[in-house]
Structure 1
Amino acid sequence: MQAAKIILSLLVVALGWFFLGYGYSTLLGHPISTVLFIGGLALSLAGVVGVILSARSKA
C-alpha cells in the first residue's frame, strides 16, 4: 500500500511538471496558459509533499 502511494505521488509530480512546461510554452491565450502553469506548480508541490509524507510514514 505504501509503495502505491509513493508511485502515485511520483506520477502527480510528473503530471505537474508536464502541465507546468506546457503552460509555460503554449501559445494559447492568457487564462489557459496561466491555469496550466499554476496548476502544474500546485500538482508538483502536492506530489513532493505526498512523497515526503509517504516515505516518512514508512520509516
Structure 2
Amino acid sequence: MLAIAAAVLFFIAFLINAADIATNDVFASTNLMLVGLGLLALHVAGIGNGWAARGRRR
C-alpha cells in the first residue's frame, strides 16, 4: 500500500516538474519526491505490508 502511495506521489511530482507549474514550497516537486522516497523506504522495510503470516496455526 505504501508503494502505491509512493508511485502516486512520484507521478504528481513528475507532472508538477514537467508542466512547470508554480506551487508553494510545501507542494514543490522535490518535496513530493522526498515524501515518496520515504514511503518507498518504509515499504521496503516491511512496514505497511498489510497481511502478515504471523499467528497462522494449523
TM bin, normalised by shorter chain, reads: 0.5 to 0.7
Q: How does the TM-score come out when normalised to structure 1?
A: 0.55
| Higher relative helix content | 1
Q: Percent identity?
A: 6
TM-superposed CA distance for 1:25, in Å, is 0.8
Which position in structure 2 is the counterpart of 1:36?
28
Q: How does 1:14-53 map to 2 (within 5 A)?
A: 14-29=7-22, 32=23, 35-53=27-45
Instruction: Provide the alpha-carbon RMSD of the alignment.
Output: 2.5
Structure label with greater radius of gyration: 2
- Stretches of structure 1 lacking an aligned partner (at least 5 in a row): 1-7
Pairs aligned (count): 47
**Deviant stretches of 4+, over 4 Å:** none
Q: How does the TM-score come out when normalised to structure 2?
A: 0.55
- Stretches of structure 2 lacking an aligned partner (at least 5 in a row): 53-58
